[in-house]
Every structure is written in structure tokens, then in C-alpha cells.
């Protein structure tokens, strides 16, 4: 196991690498959450370095995808993975409601 830097309070979560690819469930979920944050316009696109305009339908799609994964993996995740998914979904759903009300930032400086 190794530690990986992650979003918010998740920097200390220990994740397990798969032997062939290095992809982890936690890393995958965090990449979906990062994509949602990019769609909220809260962080710069990692590929371009630019912040994009808010795209709520795309952010909603990422939230729905994480929720689908939560449903399909229920009972099969390690406790830290399940908590990560629960916490991220809560934060993203709150941010979605805020964005609908006109607030722009997901992360307050």
C-alpha cells in the first residue's frame, strides 16, 4: 500500500495498487470527483491548466456516475473506500445545489 495525495480531507487515505495498472478504486472515484470539480469551474482542467465555464449537466453526470458505482459496489468496498464515496457524494451534491443557486466555488480559499 502507498499514500496518495487526494482532494480535501482524503490526502491520508491509504490505497492499494492493482498489480498490472496501478489503478485503484479510490483513485478512480477521486478522478471522477475531480472531473466534477472541473465542470463546476472550481478547479483548473488538469490537461489545459485553464478553468472552464460551469457545466452543471456534466457535473451532474459525474455525480450520477459516482452514485451508480456506489450502488453497484455496495457491500464490496473496504470501509475507507465506502466512506470516501459517501463523503464525496455528499460534498458534490451540496456543491451542485449551491451551483444551481449561483455560487461559483467548490473550494473556499
For residue range 56-72, list pLDDT tens digits in order: 999 999 999 999 999 99
For residue range 43-55, list pLDDT tens digits in order: 888 788 888 888 9
Q: What is the C-alpha separation between 104 and 101, in angstroms, rounded?
A: 9
pTM over 0.75, yes/no: no
How big is the chain by its Cα radius of gyration, in Å? 14
C-alpha cell belonging to residue 101: 443557486
Q: Is the pLDDT of residue 3 over 80?
A: no
Query: Is 33 in contact with 8 (CB distance < 8 Å)?
Result: no
Q: What pLDDT is recorded for position 5?
A: 38
Amino acid at each position: 500500500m502507498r499514500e496518495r495525495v487526494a482532494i480535501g480531507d482524503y490526502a491520508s487515505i491509504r490505497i492499494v495498487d492493482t498489480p498490472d495498472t496501478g489503478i485503484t478504486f479510490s483513485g478512480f472515484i477521486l478522478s471522477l470527483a475531480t472531473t466534477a470539480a472541473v465542470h463546476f469551474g472550481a478547479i483548473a482542467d488538469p490537461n489545459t491548466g485553464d478553468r472552464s465555464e460551469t457545466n452543471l449537466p456534466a457535473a451532474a453526470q459525474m455525480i450520477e456516475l459516482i452514485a451508480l458505482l456506489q450502488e453497484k459496489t455496495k457491500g464490496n468496498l473496504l470501509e475507507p473506500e465506502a466512506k470516501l464515496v459517501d463523503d464525496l457524494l455528499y460534498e458534490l451534491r451540496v456543491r451542485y445545489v449551491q451551483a444551481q443557486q449561483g455560487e461559483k466555488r467548490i473550494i473556499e480559499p
